[in-house]
Structure 1
């Protein structure tokens, strides 16, 4: 197995049918109100999500779901799945994670079936948060956890940079520069998450959380979050 298995590239590609392109994670409101208007501001905004915000929590949830699936611990897997949905701190954040998570499960079960999805169905009957869905697939296909975390984090950042390009915050070249600048932080966040548990969940990216709430009533919108 290579260090970066091909299934991760497929599942976390923009072509995989989860609808990630429809979500800005509150960036649309941040741009509209003047919080994020250029490459430097975008970098700082995303870095906060990586180190102290929603991506950090997603990576911790990913680790816990992955390990529960590997161990066949249905009680632990159900706990993580329930908590991951509860951690969505606004209606649009919940919509974003469960719409992508449910879509991922449907698409991956049809094209990349594995025992992990059967375990998830037995452990949890509700909506599936996106990090839990991808984690279960990675565990079910015996993919390495470090590479899976790296790939998930990079896809998160790349999708928000894509949204920023469509909003006009940055151009394509500056967007790629922002992604490249964030790679070391993504590696650190993934490595740190591998040693954390559900007790370590939490964050302090308050402006991003506020943006997600304010976006719900934003007058003119391109994105669903």
Structure 2
């Protein structure tokens, strides 16, 4: 049996100590504003971001990062890392990926399962997709599988944020995940085929929600 699947499950696990559970990526403000208030509106919000935001920029970028790591294209890794950091629309979203990237970089050092490239430590700030893609490449996980798991992990974290912030029941959360899971194959396929000139991070609703979350009076989450 290949180790790729167990390694992928570990990488996508909510137990991965990178602090993902502390972020809602603007969802908490959407709840505060009344835009998200039940299962249907939570699914609509998360689906919109999956298909028109994360799926059209972060996902294809992460796939390219994994290919770059596998081919030892260090300059490409540096370029894509800089592009992703520059794409964060608010200070909270930028701080989120830098914090999670820092935590994952430290974890990969502590796991000592493979030799880390020097450029990985040389990056002053490492975004989360860079660390994820490096682990997936080192563990020889197929790009289609690693990207599916990356997006699943994102969906799961958004669902958990909705459970706490709306709040929603556990069954509602599982119905949301079931619906999102059904959309993942098409989102992944599009991300793998989308040329870089067509990548798009245009999600003004997310940018506004994230910016307004920074001054939200009562908060459970860090973004």
TM-score w.r.t. the length of structure 1 is 0.92
| Alignment match, 1:20 | 20
Count of aligned pairs between the two proteins: 223
Measure the CA separation in 2 of the matches of 1:191 and 1:155: 17
SS in 2 for 1:5: helix
Measure the CA separation in 2 of the matches of 1:93 and 1:218: 15
Q: Give the CA deviation at 1:148.
A: 0.2
| Alignment match, 2:171 | 173
Matched, 1:121 2:120: yes
CA change 1:114–1:219 in 2 (3 A) is same
Unaligned 5+ segments in structure 2 are none
Measure the CA separation in 2 of the matches of 1:102 and 1:210: 26
CA change 1:64–1:119 in 2 (3 A) is farther
| Alignment match, 2:145 | 147
User: CA RMSD, aligned part only?
Assistant: 1.8
Measure the CA separation in 1 of the matches of 2:127 and 2:98: 5
CA change 1:120–1:59 in 2 (3 A) is farther
| Alignment match, 1:223 | 221
CA change 1:75–1:208 in 2 (3 A) is same
Unaligned 5+ segments in structure 1 are none
Per-residue Cα deviation, 1:137-192 (whole angstroms, up to 9, x for no partner): 10111111111000000000101111111113321110110011011221111111
Measure the CA separation in 2 of the matches of 1:176 and 1:119: 41
TM-score w.r.t. the length of structure 2 is 0.93
Q: Give the CA deviation at 1:98.
A: 1.2
SS in 1 for 2:117: helix
